[in-house]
Amino acid sequence: MNEEDKSKITENLTVLRESVMISIHPILHTLIEKGVFKFEFLAQFDQISDRHNQFSKFISFLTSSGHKLAYSTFKTALKAEGFHNLVETMERTEPDPNRTIHSEQVESATAAGAPGGELLGAMKEMFADAERKHEERMKRIVEDVSHIRKKQTEAELLRQEDQKHLHELHELNKRTLGILQQSSGEEKHLREEFTRLQEIQKEMRQTDNDRLLRLRGKNFEIQELNCMIKKTEKQLEEKIEENSTLKKTICDQYEKLQSILEKQNQTLKVRTVNRQVNQAVEEYKRTGIIDLNFQISLRD
């Protein structure tokens, strides 16, 4: 058995003595079955009448065993007897590098085959040292309990503070629930308003579609009117050109007519003068008087 495993056993001798001796024989049978102890050890063990000496001999043989699985087999035997907490305690024990001279003396005496009295004295010294360490451990446990109680007090204060925070959180949840209910009412109103606006938008879209259809119809009519206007403009241009030609023709004919009228007027004037002269001659012939007021009219 290595030094670390030995330390885990020797550091917990008091607890082991109170527990192991209750089920020592089943533990011995397991160790013998796994080859850690020889069968002859059981006979030697039973010959010892004092339970304290039995435990001392058991621990001495166990810690001096050369079997590499001695410690693990011992743990298995303890677990088989229900000492799980004891195994956990041993496993949590930190190895003591500065082991006492008493335990070293016990190991040396055991290895050298020292007489039983010397071995017993060494074991007693080892147990006394273990008792001292046990008292120190108990003192640490008391300190730990005090520390735990202090922590419990702090935990109680924290619990009360948490309770206060929980109450505040509950009130906050109530206010939040009220706000949520109000928000739900507002959301319902907004949904109704949104639905109404959707209907209005739908109607407006329908109106826009109708307007768009009418506008497209008007655009079609405008296109037709534009075509008619272009056609009419073309006809108008043709009429203007025709009128221009006709006007020119009329002007030419008017000039010709003016010339003809001038000629006719001149002929008419001559005829008028001749008629007036003839009238004057006739008047002279009839009366023999020459009218001094006679004038020849050259009216147009």
- 3-state SS track over 117-148: HHHHHHHHHHHHHHHHHHHHHHHHHHHHHHHH
d(CA 156, CA 167): 16
| Segment 189-204 mean pLDDT | 90
62: left (phi over 0), alpha (psi -120 to 50) or beta: alpha
Per the CB < 8 A criterion, the answer to whether 142 and 29 are in contact is no
| CB contact at 8 A, 106 and 123 | yes
Kindly report whether the global pTM for this prediction surpasses the value 0.85. Answer: no
Q: What is d(CA 167, CA 219) in angstroms, rounded to the nearest whole number? A: 74
- Look up the CATH number of domain 3-82: 1.10.533
Chain position carrying tokens 């810690």:
63
Q: Is the confidence at residue 106, as pLDDT, over 80?
A: no
Residues 281-300: what's their mean pLDDT?
60
Residue 212 pLDDT: 86
Average pLDDT on 174-192 reads 86
**Domain segments of the chain: what residues?**
3-82
Task: Assign residue 35 a region (left: φ > 0; alpha: ψ between -120 and 50; beta: otherwise).
Answer: left
Q: What is the pLDDT of residue 121?
A: 65
List Cα–Cα distances, 229 to 3, 85, 223, 234, 238, in angstroms.
122, 114, 10, 8, 14
pLDDT band at 250 (very low <50, low <70, confident <90, very high): confident
> Model confidence over 109-160: pLDDT tens digits?
344 444 445 556 666 676 666 667 666 766 776 676 677 778 778 888 888 8
Mean pLDDT of 194-222: 88
CA 103/CA 133 separation, integer angstroms: 13
Could you tell me the sign of the dihedral formed by the alpha carbons of 266, 267, 269, 273, in that order?
A: positive
pLDDT of residue 150: 82
